[in-house]
Structures are given as C-alpha cells and as structure tokens.
Structure 1
C-alpha cells in the first residue's frame, strides 16, 4: 500500500459522518415490545441518551437502512447497520418482533428482508438499546441473558465493550468488515480479525490477502501496538481471554465519559478516534498501517524492516538477499537466504534480536507453560526450528513460541517490542560477534567530542531512571530529570531498548551539539555509553517544552502576548545562528513546538538535533531518499521529493509562529466551515482581512495588536508553498523587529482550499516525527 494513500484518509473517513435528512418525528421508544413496531422517523434511544437507532438513508438515496448512531454528536456518525446488505427500497419499511421472537425488518409488502434469527424462543421478549451502543433482544421477565445482540455481528466499527472473538471448539469468528463504499454499507472486501491458525494474531486483510498484521498478543498489547501511546495517553484498557475454548479481544475506555471508536475503511486502513467535546470533532489518535514497514511482508522472508534505516529492508544477520540486483533496486519481495547451512544437532546457536515486532505466527507452535530455556531446548531438538521467543512478556516473560523454516514480516518495533532468538550456524555467530565489537568501538570513537560521563553517575542522578524522574518521551527515547552530587540539575535522554531511533542519530546529535553554543539552543553537557545504553546529558529546562503550555487551555493563560512574541523572537535568533552564524551551516529538519524548551525565565531553547544536517561553506540544500521530520511542520518539497534546505527550517518556523499565536496545532486543527488545517485557516482569514480571528483567547490591548498581526504576516511568508518565496532567517529576524512594509504572502504549502488556489492537499492526518511516514 503506497504511503501517499494515507494522505487521503480524511476524505476516506468522511463517509462515516453520514449526512441524514431531517427526521419528521413519529414515535420515541426506550424499548420495543411484541405489539410495537418502528418506521422511518421513529427512534429507539438508550437509557442515558448516548445512542439512538432508527431508519436512515444517505442523502437523496431511496435506500433505507436500520442503524445505530450517537444521539448527541453531529454530523451523525453511524456505528452499526442491521440490513447493510439488504436495503429497503420504499418508505414503508418496518422493524418489529415476529411471533418467533426474532427481530425483523419488513419491506412495504411485509416481506422479511432482514432477521436476527434468534435461536431461543421466549413467551415475551423486548428490544433495548444499551448505552454501550449494543442493540439487544432479551427476556422481558428480567433475565440478564441476551437472546441476541448486535455486538455479536459487528460491521465496520469497533466500540468499547464489543468483542472480536472466536470459539475454538465450534469455529465461528466475529470480526469487522469494511463498507463497500462511502454510500454503501454493504459488506466490503476488507476485514479486521483475529487470525487463529498457529498462535493468535491480529490481522487486516483484503479477501484472503493480509494487508497489515497487528501482531500476536504479548500479555499487555498486540505486539505491533505502540507502548508509548498507550502509557502516555492511558485512555483505554485492552483485555484478551485466551483459553482452550475461546479467544476474544475487547477494549474499554478508562472513563465512561470518553467516547471512542475504531473504524475499518474500504481500503483496509484502521483508525482509532476520540470525540473532543471542546472542538466538537473526532480526533484520530492512531492509524494503521502507520508506515512503510507496516505493509505485510514488505521485505520478504528472513528479513527485518527498520523504518529508521535506509533502505528500510535488511536481511537478518547470517542471511543474504536471494536476488541481489532486485534487492539493490528496492525490490525486496524475494527475501533472504542463509549464508551458511545449519548443522542441526551439533553446532547451531542463536542470535538475540531486541525491540522487535515478532514474525508472523500463523504457522508457529506455542506452549503457554514453558520457560524461555525450555523453549530454546525444544527448538534445538527440531532441525526445522529457526527461531524462538516468549509468548507472554509479563513478569519477566513466560511461555514459548517456535517458528519453523522461514520467518516472515518481522520489523524493528517503533518503541518497545520483544526479544526473539534467531537460529544460526556457529561459524556465523563467531563472525557476527566480531563485527558487533568493531561497530561498538567505532561508535565510541565517534563520540569523543563530548564529555563522557560514567553510566553509574547518571544512573544515581536519575534514581535508577525511576518513573518519578521521567519528564516525558521523545523521538530519541525517554527523558529523565537528574540531580548531580554537586547539586546541578540535568536532563538525560536515554537511547536504549525503548528508543525508536538509532546510533546514527545519537552520534549526529553529540557531534553537532558539542560545537554549538547559543542563548537559544539547549546546552549539551556530555554523553554516556555503556553496552546498549547510550545517554545524552543536557542542562535542565524547568518549564519543559513550548507545546506543554500553548496547547493547554489552562497553562496557555500563563503566556501573555508579550511573552509569546519574545519566544518567537528567541526561536528566530536560534535558527539564524544555526543557518548563518555557527561554524557549520546547520539545518535542523525537525523544528516543532515540542522541540522548543523553556528555561526558568521562559527563554526558548531549540533542542533535539538527532535529524539535523550540517554543511560546509555556501552549501545550503540537499536531497535525501530518507525523509525524516514531523508532518505538519515539513514543507511540501521535503515531504514529497526529499529536498531540504535552510528554507525547510523557515517553513517549520512559520508553522510554530502560527501555532503560538493561535494556540492550535496545525495537524490537529480543522476549521468547521472549510475543513482546513491551521495554515489554510490562517491564510483564508488573511485574504479575507480577518487575521485577528486567528488569535488565541488571550487578552491584548491596541498597543500590541499591530505587532501580533505583523508576526502573523511573517509566519505566512515563512510557510509559502515555494521555498524561493520564503525569506531567510536573517530577513525574518529583521521583519519581526522592523517597521517596514512587508511583501505580500502567497498561499501556504499543503493548503487544501477552494477554487481560488491550486490545492496541493494534506499528506496525512496524524502528527508524528516521520521517516517514510514513521512514528518516532
């Protein structure tokens, strides 16, 4: 699946927000008894008014469906459709209980076009819509056992409390199926299900073809799910029941006031949404596939996909490409073959891979009671066994997973992942160990520009990297506060098993930051290297990052307009130093509000130089096949073509300016009238001569209003679509402080407006630092 398809997701998902005709209210139900029926215009409402059910159609279509939607959310969002494959083609449709106790939909001639086909018959039954969104049929005499429930027949929406499940004895599956098209809820080609052969795993498929694999259940999450998102945004609890009779998977929100749903679209993309009461929009919090490495078996057999490397595909150590020429031309489908044959019962060993999404488990063997050592012994006894791992990582790990012959669809995990042991001939293991020792020595030589701290010193300063000392998580990994023995406060970035980046970014940051000194740059104090632990030690910033303030409705009040403009000015001077005044010309490539730290006096300091590039002399631009940065802050020429320059940073700076002034995120914002992102919204307000409507809800007086408008003007000049039209940072600094007339801005990059512009569209709907759409 091409990454550029992800940029269409907003349009793809718009069909879920169905625009319904105005209902002419006839009857309002809380339950449906055998002597009652519902027609078009009647609605069934859950007890607390969370959900509503009734007949609906799409636009001017005459096809009628009976469905469920959120009662208080507009536009109407459909979560389930009963007769998705058999719409009624006249206005006389009716829903009722028949004499056998089944829920049925009748057409105008009283023919049954849909039925719940309830297998149990009771004397008196009743239909009810629960506040979970579950439509149920139950005994009216008070039994809590449901005769039938809509949650057992999911459509394209996965709601809290709903289960994806399989009866391991009788075999039927319950899984999501996509809609056929935006205006047709009939069962589509794509499914989201638990794959049961071998060890159970979550997959998205188109027909019989797997598109994306969410991985196997590891005791906490499915192995491909981001741990960082789940820990830092603890809004959902995931539950799996796995025994001899059943495998089921469900989630619940930690608070009943949180409205969440997951959608499978017609193309096999899945997204989780949370409803925002403040903005009255659905906010996408995760999306799959998230990057190139999520495409199933992108790299073929016996390979590893690493989104932080270029090329992304590499053979597992001890293996080589099956077709060398195709591999070099980025056709990895042929996969990899062993360099040295296994010796089977005498002379094989295992190479440990850490932080991995485990390979496809559809042909694996599992034993939930074995230890890891027992798992290894069993693998060595079978000549076809090629890898082993724990099946459950809780409490230090337990259970056994074995893979046979070729392994498929393994990748470097975006944040945590698991350990897996790959079987190799002993001669290969000896060679690999020597190679690793050489790489480790070379890495240490590359960091000799910085002060080297002893690891134990930093470990003590951070209280053994305790959670109470943790300040947050970035693309590099977790960041901790530390206190040295002399009383100096420090901030420690830790590149270890939880990091999504690699050694190259570590070395890059050490080399650059050791040579850079400026009031508006964070100061690097040193680094520490010990085996697989790599640390960067910085001066401590007590006021955390800029995004912590400006996007919080309460904390944002602490930044008045004078301070906001001072912060913008400070950032501009830090960038000017990087581009023009430092020994090397530095292009940051990942400037964003979360990478602007604030000291005790709220002075801004640019941080996170892992993706920065340096140039000698007059060089100011380059091209790359490995696009890295953060969508929402990346300019069009870089995101689309990989071309970056000092004007790339200027674009990012312009986005930051507009975010500081508006208090809104570029990627998280969509104005309700034109559905534009922040740049498009600011541009439309500017050309309509209403720029003051962009301002955050912070009081200001007339003395500063003209200056704020000037900063908006400069911000729009910085985010212009063509890099040659953007000013350089020396001009930006002058324009922010000067009184001269400014040039007229042209439309911004990624502006998706109306006919008055040439729209270039929006590349993606989620914000994360990316490498080929990678989540950092």
Structure 2
C-alpha cells in the first residue's frame, strides 16, 4: 500500500474517533434521562431537563423585560411561562454563559463563563454517586443514585421556596434542625430577588402563620383549629385541593395536595403582599385568582389594637370588647384605633370570672400556652388559678371541642365573622360579670316586652296599610298619588348616596339619546324601553327608561341600583349610573355593540358568524360571570332570569350577563329562599322554583344548563319540536346522550368546523346542570373547573321539565300570564314571564 494512501486512511480513522468521542460527549451532556443530571453531565444556558411526567422544566430564563439570566423551574405544559422556583435570585448572570452541574460531593453548583461560583446548594453528608433529579412535583432534589426515600435526600428545592407554594411542599419549620421553609415575594415581575414580603410559620407559643412586610406584621391566619385557620372561615372542603397543618415534636408545617392533578393550582405571595391561590384555566389560557386570603380591611393585623374587635359589616369597623373602653377616646373619634382598649374595671384575680365571646378570630397566639390533652373545663380551672391568664379557648373545634389554649398577654387582632367563628372566654372583673348577667336578664324581659310591642305595632300597621290601600284605589289617577312615587325616589336616592353611585342629569341623557328618539330605540320590555345614546365625550351608552305605568319596572330599578351597583366583572354588564328626576327613572349602562346572544344563536341569518370557538368562549364567560355572582361578589347574588336575551355581547363577542331586575341577594348563611310570586322566563326556570317558589344558586345553574344546550344546538328549549318525539330540547339532548349521539345536537351550520371534545364536554356539563334535583346539580365552582379540564365527568341524571310540553308555550316568552299554568301535571300560580 502506498505510504501516502495509508496516511490518509489513518487520518480518516483519527477523525472518526474524534467525531465519535465528540458525539458521545454531547450525548452525555444533553440526552441522558431527561429528568436526571449526574456528576459527568452539565446543563448550559439554552438546554433544559424535564420531569419524568412532563409537568415541570428546569433551565435558564429572563424575567419580564430583563435580560439577566436565572436558573429556574417552570410549568412545562402551560403556554405562559410560569416560574415556580429560582436558584440564583440575588445573583443573576449577565450573559448566557451559565452552567449547572453536580459535584462528586453531591452539591449543585452554578457558574458563569469565568468559572466563578454564582450559586450552590448544600449537602447534609458525603455522597458516593450523587445525581440531581427534577421530580414531577416540581421539586429539584440531589440524592444518591437509585435512592427514592425523601428522608434520605441530600438536598431539595422544596426546602428553599421562593414566592410560590406548590402542592407537596411543607411551609413551616423543622423543630429539630431549625430549617425555616418560608416564602418571600419577588421585587417585581422583572426582578425575582427578595421583595418586601415574607410568609411563614412563627413559633414560641402556639404556632401562627404570619405575613410580614420587612419586620412589620401585616396579616396572620390565626391558630389552626383542626379544620381551618381561625382567621380564614372561607377555607372549607372544596373540589380543588385538600389542606391541613401538621404539628408535632419534629416539625410544624402547612401543606396541601390537589384532588385533580390535571388542574394546575398554586399559591403565590405577590410583590404587593397578597397571599393568593391561582388556578390555570385552559380555555382562557390564563391564571385566574381562586381566592385571596386577605379578605378585607379587618385582616390588617391588630387594626383595632388590644382588646378591640373588627367587624367589616359595621360602618365603624372597630369597637371595644364587652367590659372594655377606648384607651384614648379622642383618637377613636377620629377613627385611629391602634392604641386599642382598656378594662372598665381592674381585675382582682380571686373573684374574677369569664365572659364568652363568640364568632371571632382568636387573638394572636404566639405567646400563648397550649395543651392538647385537657378539656375546656380543665382549661378554665388552669386560667382561673393563674392571675396573669387573660383568656382561654379550645384548641380543636372538632367533635365538640378539645384541648386548651391560654393567653397571658393583651388580646390582639380579633375580628368578628358571620360564620365559622370561634369562642373565646375572656377574664373579667366580678362587677363586670354582674352587669352582664343583668343585661342578659333585662334582655329576656326586654324580649318579652318587644314581642308584645311588635305584635301591637303589626296590628296597627296592618290597619293603616288597609286604609292606605283603599285610599290609593280610590285616588289612583289623582295628582296626590305621585307622593308615593316620590317617596320611593327618595329611598332609592338614599341608597345611591350610601353606595357613592354616579348620578346623571336627565337633560344630559335626553341630549345623548336625541330626546329618546325612536331611531335610537334598541328594544322594549315590561320595564319600559332601551335606547342607544352617545355622551358629549363620545362614549356610547345604553339607557333603560322606566315606563311610568310599570310597577314591575320600579322593582327592577331598585334591584339594579341597590344590589349590583358595586359589582364589577368582565362578564357582567357595567352599570354606569342612574338618573332620578321627578317621575323619570333611567339606568345607564355601557353599550354592547353586538346586541344580545339570542340575536345570533336563534336567527337563521346570523348563525354562521357565530362559530364554535365563539360559542365555547361565550359558555365559559357566562360560567365565570355566574361564579362571581354566586361566590366572589360582596353579596351572594341569584340572577333568577338568566337567558339568551339577557346575555349581551361586546365588540369582541365576549359575553356579559345583564338585566338584574329580578335578582336577589343572599346572606352568607342563606342557601335558599321562597317566594309566592314566581317570576322569570319559560324554558329557563328550575323545577323547584317554578313549582314551589324555591330559588337558590342551583336555580341559576339550571338556567345556565339550558343556555348551554341552546348555544350548542341553536334551538330554543321552549318551543323545540322534533319529528320523532314530543320532548323539549332538554329531553332531546338527554335522549341523544343516552344513545351516544350527542354530536347530533350541534347546530348544523357549525357542525363540520366544531371541536368534538369541547362540544361533548359542553353538552355533558349542560345536562349535569339541568338535573331535576338541585342537590344533583354542580355549583358554579365545579362547572368552571369541569369546563376548564379534561377529567372524567359523572353521568347526568334525568333533567327536570323534559317529559312533555305545555300547549301554552306556543305564545311568546316575553308576554305576561296571570292565569294558572298547568305544566307537567302540576299547577303554578302567579307566574310572570318576561
């Protein structure tokens, strides 16, 4: 073989060896198991590792508009990059030279292009074959190879959380090692370094979870009572997550786990100090706030000072506990309560007793004493014997109460709740106890006198009412009859002033609507007419003008002004203000460009523009609007007339629920109400409401279910007919579902372009909502979750009102009927349709 040829072959073989070695090295550094990094591998900027289940990803990122690089963990399958943990929060890398690797000692190190150490983990002991693994929980761990016991991990990111609290994390303290797992806010969306706020467990007496701004306490949850934190009565069993506190000799921590891991949910301490739970909604492709722990101003720590109590429902939030008076009265007159209250009568120790205070958030317990093994009576005896003891309470409220919690300091940060509050027994001087006993005795006597007085007054009022009724009947058309209307106007105006609700000048609205020209008329109902108007600044408005002859409209007007003036949600029509001048009553709304939903889904010529994606967006938007009314608004609102005509569409076809004339508000403890005057719209009313006058949030859920099936099918429930049967739309959908033919329900113009999975899920949820029994229907929390996830759904039961259709239904749903209506062989009286 010629020498030159032999040299060429050798050089080729050498190149191949170099190429193979380079390929193997590249493979080792980028392609070994995607969730594990060993001591021979590294991660460079631009490379990532992904947890085995594909839920989380680790790599380098730049927050917001910043160009600085950080090593972080984020959700892999969520299109909006959501970072849940950052390694080098305080020391960013200024270029893309960052490298992460595991040392032979089992320590994670992050270096820049100069090899300088940017960040490193720690190690609890020497390691032989250490690896780093990103778990599907979002936890980055360093461990011995093949070691899966968390107790033996060398290091884990869950022990050093940032601003995000993930399922499976422990938020609290290791009482043996002193490890403090706490959250700290980001400085800004562009800067993940430690912000002003921290949240974590503080021990000393009974543990408390405290939110601080710097060193200042801003909020505390209240002591854990076995079911929830004392200061968070809204924390109840829910369909999203299970939560609890573990407290033993080794550790104290708060944790939670998701009931359905397919619905991402996390808790975040925001840069503004809000402690929030957020859920990912697939449809909107956004994180939505499920709950903010700080509910209102009474959650500000120690707002009312020592022995003060906060009640958000009172016009003046702070008051002193019974037996106490303001320490500095002049300050209380100017609404400065921080100096709190002092006792009216000093304690005497030997003769002191206790007064029960119910329905409250227990005071700060960080300097308390506790014992889980004794009962309340033993707890009282201990407090009585110790002259320094200021109050006592049960530790655990389950099974009638158990355990003992004693306070030896001033009682601070108490607030009152309407439900799920607790009881505390406060030490009081003997003379004060006597006053309370006299007050209770006088209260009973006063109650007897009050009952007699009320009965007498009631008889007198009934007599006067009868005389007034007769007088009004005889003078209905006389000028003096305007007095009642003006008194009503005065009442409404008073409510407007209390709500600080905007008032419009009548002349301004008349000018905006061209003096209520018929050319500007948008529609008409039992209340009166609606007009389009344009204000002088160019803003388009819709004006509802109350008909002078409409009593129904007067009630609606009051509801709109009094109940929903302060409701703000992107899926509710915004009420801008009102006008009351003499006998004119106007409501002014934001103008909706695309009219109402019924115009699009029931009009043959308008069906085509409303494609499936728009319909699905409308369904989800209505659901979110109802959820806000039922759960997240200041007062629980039952709409009572949800229908296609009362869903308006803005210029981007986003739905907005309107017309709250029949709405009713519920208190926190109310679940249903009864009315003798059933009002609403045929085809949308729930059976229990139409038959018995019972309405609740589940009545709106039924209406929502009907609306969903109408949106999918393009057919009205009322008046629906089919050649094969006499069922209405609900019965038809139920029948198709049972036969596995639900896709046949979808409106024919969009059948070919629709998303079958979304259609089937919508129909399924709609049928769950129209089940006959209210107890079987989901609430709107579950509806929103079901629409936004892909998990299995329970089979629906038989719908209400689906077996036959009443002949009366041939008439329009907007007419008023005053005669009895036979429906499904049952009679409904006083039914008014709109």
Q: Give the TM bin, normalised by the shorter chain.
A: 0.5 to 0.7
1:64 Cα deviation after fit: 0.8
The aligned counterpart of 1:731 is none
Asked whether 1:332 is paired with 2:345, we answer: no
1:548-579, Cα deviation, whole Å (9 max, x unpaired): xxxxxxxxxxxxxxxxxxxx968999x99999
**Do 2:298 and 2:415's aligned partners in 1 also have CA atoms closer than 8 Å?**
yes
1:170 Cα deviation after fit: 3.8
Asked whether 1:212 is paired with 2:219, we answer: yes
Asked whether 1:224 is paired with 2:206, we answer: no
1:518-539, Cα deviation, whole Å (9 max, x unpaired): xxxxxxxxxxxxxxxxxxxxxx
Aligned residues: 515
The aligned counterpart of 1:560 is none
SS in 1 for 2:236: helix
Which of the numbers 350, 357, 360 marks the counterpart of 1:345? 350
**Do 2:104 and 2:130's aligned partners in 1 also have CA atoms closer than 8 Å?**
no
More displaced stretch, 646-655 vs 84-93 = 646-655
Q: How does 1:197-346 map onto structure 2 within 5 Å? A: 197-227=204-234, 229-231=235-237, 233-346=238-351
**Do 2:596 and 2:647's aligned partners in 1 also have CA atoms closer than 8 Å?**
no
**Do 1:659 and 1:665's aligned partners in 2 also have CA atoms closer than 8 Å?**
no
The aligned counterpart of 2:189 is 182
Q: How does 1:114-125 map onto structure 2 within 5 Å? A: 114-125=119-130
1:169 Cα deviation after fit: 3.6
1:97 Cα deviation after fit: 0.8
- TM-score where L is the length of structure 2: 0.55
Asked whether 1:372 is paired with 2:387, we answer: no
The aligned counterpart of 2:609 is none
Change (3 A) 1:579 1:360: farther
The aligned counterpart of 1:383 is 387
**What is the distance in 1 between the residues matched to 2:229 and 2:136?**
27
SS in 2 for 1:373: helix
The aligned counterpart of 1:42 is 47
Change (3 A) 1:651 1:155: same
The aligned counterpart of 1:462 is none
Q: How does 1:356-505 map onto structure 2 within 5 Å? A: 356-413=360-417, 415-436=419-440, 437=443
**Do 1:154 and 1:175's aligned partners in 2 also have CA atoms closer than 8 Å?**
yes
**Do 2:577 and 2:588's aligned partners in 1 also have CA atoms closer than 8 Å?**
no
1:225 Cα deviation after fit: 1.9
**What is the distance in 1 between the residues matched to 2:205 and 2:157?**
29
**Do 2:106 and 2:143's aligned partners in 1 also have CA atoms closer than 8 Å?**
no
Which of the numbers 35, 47, 51 marks the counterpart of 1:30? 35
- TM-score where L is the length of structure 1: 0.59
1:441 Cα deviation after fit: 5.6
The aligned counterpart of 1:106 is 111
**What is the distance in 2 between the residues matched to 1:663 and 1:448?**
50
1:214-255, Cα deviation, whole Å (9 max, x unpaired): 11111111112234x523x33221132211222122111122
**What is the distance in 2 between the residues matched to 1:683 and 1:48?**
41
Q: How does 1:67-106 map onto structure 2 within 5 Å? A: 67-106=72-111
SS in 1 for 2:142: strand
**Do 1:283 and 1:668's aligned partners in 2 also have CA atoms closer than 8 Å?**
no
1:418-452, Cα deviation, whole Å (9 max, x unpaired): 11111222322332344451675687579759999
**What is the distance in 2 between the residues matched to 1:317 and 1:658?**
55
SS in 2 for 1:76: coil
Change (3 A) 1:334 1:428: same
Change (3 A) 1:93 1:237: same
Higher Rg: 2
**What is the distance in 2 between the residues matched to 1:634 and 1:434?**
53
1:411 Cα deviation after fit: 0.6
Structure with greater contact order relative to length (CA < 8 Å, sep ≥ 6): 1
**Do 1:201 and 1:222's aligned partners in 2 also have CA atoms closer than 8 Å?**
no
Which of the numbers 166, 169, 176 marks the counterpart of 1:162? 169
More displaced stretch, 368-377 vs 136-145 = 136-145
**What is the distance in 1 between the residues matched to 2:259 and 2:365?**
30
**Do 2:62 and 2:68's aligned partners in 1 also have CA atoms closer than 8 Å?**
yes
The aligned counterpart of 1:563 is none
Change (3 A) 1:162 1:349: same
**Do 1:176 and 1:192's aligned partners in 2 also have CA atoms closer than 8 Å?**
yes
**What is the distance in 1 between the residues matched to 2:61 and 2:251?**
36
Gaps of 5+ in 1: 1-25, 453-510, 516-567, 593-610, 613-626, 640-644, 671-676, 705-735, 739-776
**Do 1:202 and 1:222's aligned partners in 2 also have CA atoms closer than 8 Å?**
no
Change (3 A) 1:172 1:275: same
SS in 1 for 2:201: strand
Change (3 A) 1:582 1:441: farther
**Do 1:578 and 1:587's aligned partners in 2 also have CA atoms closer than 8 Å?**
no
1:413 Cα deviation after fit: 2.6
> Larger % of helix: which?
2
**Do 1:635 and 1:648's aligned partners in 2 also have CA atoms closer than 8 Å?**
no
**What is the distance in 2 between the residues matched to 1:585 and 1:683?**
22
1:674-698, Cα deviation, whole Å (9 max, x unpaired): xxx9xxxx9997557x689999744
Q: How does 1:668-747 map onto structure 2 within 5 Å? A: 668=624, 686=650, 697-700=711-714
The aligned counterpart of 1:561 is none
Gaps of 5+ in 2: 1-28, 460-464, 470-523, 530-543, 600-617, 627-632, 634-645, 658-706, 719-812, 816-834
1:581-605, Cα deviation, whole Å (9 max, x unpaired): 669976887769xxxxxxxxxxxxx
Change (3 A) 1:266 1:364: same
1:279-329, Cα deviation, whole Å (9 max, x unpaired): 332221110321010010111110111112221111001111112222122
1:112-154, Cα deviation, whole Å (9 max, x unpaired): 1111122322221111111111011111144533111100000
SS in 2 for 1:80: strand
Change (3 A) 1:204 1:431: same
Q: How does 1:541-690 map onto structure 2 within 5 Å? A: 630-632=567-569, 662-663=618-619, 668=624, 686=650
1:371 Cα deviation after fit: 0.8
1:16-57, Cα deviation, whole Å (9 max, x unpaired): xxxxxxxxxx94632111111111111110111111110111
**What is the distance in 1 between the residues matched to 2:597 and 2:330?**
47
1:266 Cα deviation after fit: 1.8
